[in-house]
């Protein structure tokens, strides 16, 4: 690890046990459903990066274009001195556009991510490209209480949550996260990317790419269960399923049993009927006004909005 990067350990990291407990709970409920956070081991994080470059997956390139065009205007909302906290930091690709728009001396960067190895290698790359930048990676589940480093005197704390990742939360989880963020960002604000409601065909294509990368990303959850927890099930028994559910304005991803089958996990047997699914992810699509109302209920004051000509994606500034 490069000098200048301060390494902060997760507080409670018995990750396998948590995965096993959550998978047992997921397979016991009706309908079966698990948190999408289990997509993101090293393999899953790499597959997600490939998804971001797919021609069908418009959110990444649309948001990047918004950041490229408006970074200076976005950074102008932050104030002079900033502690920039990136929630779910991943590859640290988008934040570079913001970092370029803020004088380095006035900046402390705190990327927060649950995947330690991935975060640290991304920070190494960033430190090489941004010498002198104060980087304080924090390996943590940012949806739970976590301890951020103290802000430098006179700084505002600004959150950055790009990628429309908030769409993967249930409305209750989104509300809880926004409340937590509004509290820890008080006096600063949050810059957040959201995916907008749009034509269903565009959405369907984005989650059913022809190369099958999204399918591999979804199936990786089962690979993890086999490798990390010793789960046993027929490898050819499940298929990727993704569709738009207009009632909830969300894409749903599932792993569907193509025939009746059993999944064994830690001495328990879970039965899948033909066509039964394990719901692995929802990806909510918002309107700008709907999201601003959600944020206002959580304690934010809606500010500037940047969107693309198709109105497929938006980046919102929210004062905390």
- 313-319 and 301-307 strand pairing: antiparallel
Q: Does 164 bind ligand AVI (CB under 6 A)?
A: yes
For ligand AVI, the closer CB: 106 or 208: 208
* C-beta nearest to ligand AVI: residue: 283
Q: Which residues pair with 107 in a beta bridge?
A: 82
- CA distance between the termini of the chain: 34
Nearer to ligand AVI, 168 or 292 (CB): 168
* 101 CB burial (10 A radius; 0-12, 13-18, 19+): middle
Q: Which of residues 177-216 bind ligand AVI (CB under 6 A)?
A: 207, 214
Residue number with CB closer to ligand AVI (163 or 189):
163
Q: How far is CA 209 from the centre of its chain?
A: 19
- C-alpha 113/C-alpha 105 separation (Å) is 24
Using DSSP bridges, classify how beta strands 261-265 and 107-113 pair: parallel, antiparallel or unpaired: unpaired
Residue 111 CB neighbours (<10 A): 24
SS3 198: coil
Shortest spacing between CB 214 and ligand AVI, in angstroms: 5
Q: For residue 51, state whether it binds ligand AVI (rule: CB under 6 A).
A: yes
Which CB, 12 or 247, lies closer to ligand AVI?
Answer: 247
Decide if residue 86 touches ligand AVI (CB under 6 A). Answer: no
Question: Whose structure tokens read 């690979």?
Answer: 223
Report the interhelical angle of 288-297 vs 171-184 (nearest 10°): 60
Nearer to ligand AVI, 62 or 165 (CB): 165
Which tokens hold the place of 11? 């507080």
60 binds ligand AVI (CB under 6 A): no
- Of 64-72, 162-170, 183-191, 231-239: span binding ligand AVI (CB under 6 A): 162-170
What are the residues whose beta carbons fall under 8 Å from the beta carbon of 53, sequence distance 6 or more?
60
With binding defined as CB under 6 A, does residue 44 bind ligand AVI? no
Q: Binder to ligand AVI among 102, 283, 295, 306 (CB under 6 A)?
A: 283
Binding of residue 281 to ligand AVI (CB under 6 A): yes
Shortest Cβ 255–ligand AVI spacing (Å): 13
In angstroms, give the least distance from the CB of 282 to ligand AVI: 8
Of the pair 62, 214, the CB lying nearest ligand AVI is at: 214
Interface characters, 220-249, with ligand AVI (x: CB under 6 A): ------------------------------
Report angle CA 227, 44, 33 to the nearest 5 degrees. 75
The DSSP bridge partners found for residue 313 are: 195
Among 137, 162, 167, 189, binds ligand AVI (CB under 6 A): 167
CA atoms within a 13 Å half-sphere pointing along the CA-CB vector of 266: 13
Q: Which residues form the interface with ligand AVI (CB under 6 A)? A: 51, 59, 163-165, 167-168, 207, 214, 281, 283
């Amino acid at each position: 690890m490069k000098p200048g990067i301060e390494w902060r350990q997760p507080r409670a990291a018995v990750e396998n046990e948590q995965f096993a407990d959550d998978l047992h709970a997921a397979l016991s409920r009706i309908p079966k459903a698990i948190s999408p956070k289990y997509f993101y081991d090293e393999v899953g994080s790499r597959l997600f990066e490939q998804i971001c470059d797919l021609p069908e997956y418009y959110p990444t390139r649309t948001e990047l274009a918004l950041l490229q065009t408006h970074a200076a205007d976005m950074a102008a909302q932050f104030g002079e001195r900033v502690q920039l906290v990136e929630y779910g930091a991943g590859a640290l690709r988008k934040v570079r556009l913001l970092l370029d728009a803020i004088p380095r001396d006035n900046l402390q960067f705190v990327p927060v991510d649950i995947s330690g190895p991935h975060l640290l290698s991304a920070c190494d790359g960033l430190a090489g490209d941004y010498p002198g930048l104060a980087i304080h990676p924090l390996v943590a589940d940012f949806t739970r209480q976590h301890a951020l480093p103290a802000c430098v005197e006179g700084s505002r704390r600004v959150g950055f949550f790009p990628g429309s990742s908030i769409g993967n939360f249930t409305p209750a989880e989104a509300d809880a996260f926004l409340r937590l963020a509004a509290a820890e960002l008080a006096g600063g604000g949050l810059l957040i990317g959201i995916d907008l409601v749009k034509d269903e065909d565009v959405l369907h294509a984005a989650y059913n790419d022809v190369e099958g990368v999204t399918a591999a990303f979804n199936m990786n959850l089962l690979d993890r269960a086999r490798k990390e927890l010793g789960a046993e099930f027929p490898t050819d028994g499940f298929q990727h399923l993704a569709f738009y559910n207009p009632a909830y304005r969300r894409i749903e991803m599932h792993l569907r049993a193509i025939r009746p089958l059993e999944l064994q996990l830690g001495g328990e047997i879970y039965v899948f009927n033909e066509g039964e699914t394990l719901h692995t992810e929802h990806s909510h699509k918002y309107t700008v006004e709907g999201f601003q109302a959600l944020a206002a209920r959580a304690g934010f004051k809606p500010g500037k909005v940047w969107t693309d000509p198709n109105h497929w994606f938006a980046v919102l500034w929210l004062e905390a």
